[in-house]
Amino acid sequence: MRKVSFLTCEINPNKKIKVNFSGCNWNCKGCFAIAKNEIGRELSVNALVDLIIKSSNLIYGKLIEDIQATGGEPALNSNYLLSFIKQLRKIGVRKIGISTNGHLLDEKLISELSNLHVDYIKIDLKAYSDEIHKWYTGFSNENVLKAVRLLHKHNLNFYVRTIFIPDIMEFSEIEKIAKFLSSVDRNIQYRLYQFTPQYLDNKISRAPGEDEMLKNFEIAKKYLKNVHYFVYSKKIGFSQDYKFVEVRANEVLENFKKIDKISKKIDKNWDIKYFTFNQILSLNR
Ligand code: SF4
């Protein structure tokens, strides 16, 4: 059994369901993920797959082709994760991905994921300097660096992500990460994201400007062939080009009130549509 807090059913630009498993082994200072805590509804693998099939039929009119396990940390219970992936394959899901902090991806788990032909893995490398990593997450990055090498060794399709946090990280931190990745393989895909302080009570930093993100991109490009960076558009807000419907556990509806309010403040067009687990589970397949 594992607790699940909500599903994100993306309509645009992708059609994909993200399963937000609850609970995380880290304690990042910039985390605003609802699923970080052990909240939501405890579901067996079969009950979760039933929820996904019914949500998928209602929202897309068919079984979705792309499902991503995220969180929280999806690898907290590796047996559950593996059995969930097997079950998804059994019902015919074509593309399966995992979004992870990487800490629990040891050689055994990575080789099992490889045997199950997991299609893509997103792994966070929050910082290369261990003192920054420990300060930010509460843990050393040793396992994550190992996991990057192992994912490469097992030939899995993966990309590495860093959220750039100004004042906490210098540009040289991005250079250290890019150098490390290039020492594994210059073709590793690397993505840079802006820190978003809006959701945090504890304002540890500010959002970096586009110029800073461009500078990071140029630094990383010196070492790596596949680098992308992302900035939120101030003009149109983030909800215009990103559309989704959520399926929320009835147990977490209160927890969403604050986050929905802030999203609305950031973007006046924000209009999240959601169903509850109870509504979905009462439907026939
Ligand atoms: S790894 Fe992700 S979910 Fe866990 S505390 Fe850090 S940001 Fe939050």
Segment 97-116, tens digit of pLDDT = 999 999 999 999 999 999 99
Question: Is residue 113 domain-shared with residue 243, that is, in the same domain?
Answer: yes
Whichever domain contains 159, its CATH number is 3.20.20.70
Ligand 1 nearest-atom number relative to CA 101: 1
Instruction: Please report the pLDDT score of residue 18 as a whole number.
Output: 98
Measured in Å, residue 34 CA sits from the centre of ligand 1 at 10
Measured in Å, residue 39 CA sits from the centre of ligand 1 at 14
Mean pLDDT of 242-263: 91
Instruction: Please report the pLDDT score of residue 266 as a whole number.
Output: 77
Domain count for the chain: 2
Question: Is residue 139 domain-shared with residue 51, that is, in the same domain?
Answer: no
Q: Which of 58-72, 235-249, 255-269, 270-284 has the highest mean pLDDT?
A: 58-72
Ligand 1 nearest-atom number relative to CA 24: 4
Question: Is residue 161 domain-shared with residue 85, that is, in the same domain?
Answer: no
Question: Is residue 182 domain-shared with residue 211, that is, in the same domain?
Answer: yes
For 216-248, the pLDDT digits (tens) are 999 999 999 999 999 875 543 444 567 899 999
Name the amino acid, one letter, at 27. N
Mean pLDDT of 120-125: 98
Query: Domain range for residue 281?
Result: 1-117+237-285
Residues 160 and 183: their CA atoms lie apart, in Å, by 14
Question: What percentage of the chain carries pLDDT values higher than 90?
Answer: 85
Question: Is residue 90 domain-shared with residue 173, that is, in the same domain?
Answer: no
**Where a domain ends, among 195, 212, 231?**
231
Instruction: Please report the pLDDT score of residue 241 as a whole number.
Output: 66
Report the pocket of ligand 1 as residue ranges, CB < 6 Å. 24, 26-28, 31, 33, 36, 71-73, 101
DSSP string, 93-153: --EEEEEE-STT--HHHHHHHHHTT--EEEEE---SSHHHHHHHHSS-SHHHHHHHHHHHH
- From atom 8 of ligand 1, which residue's Cα is the shortest distance away? 31
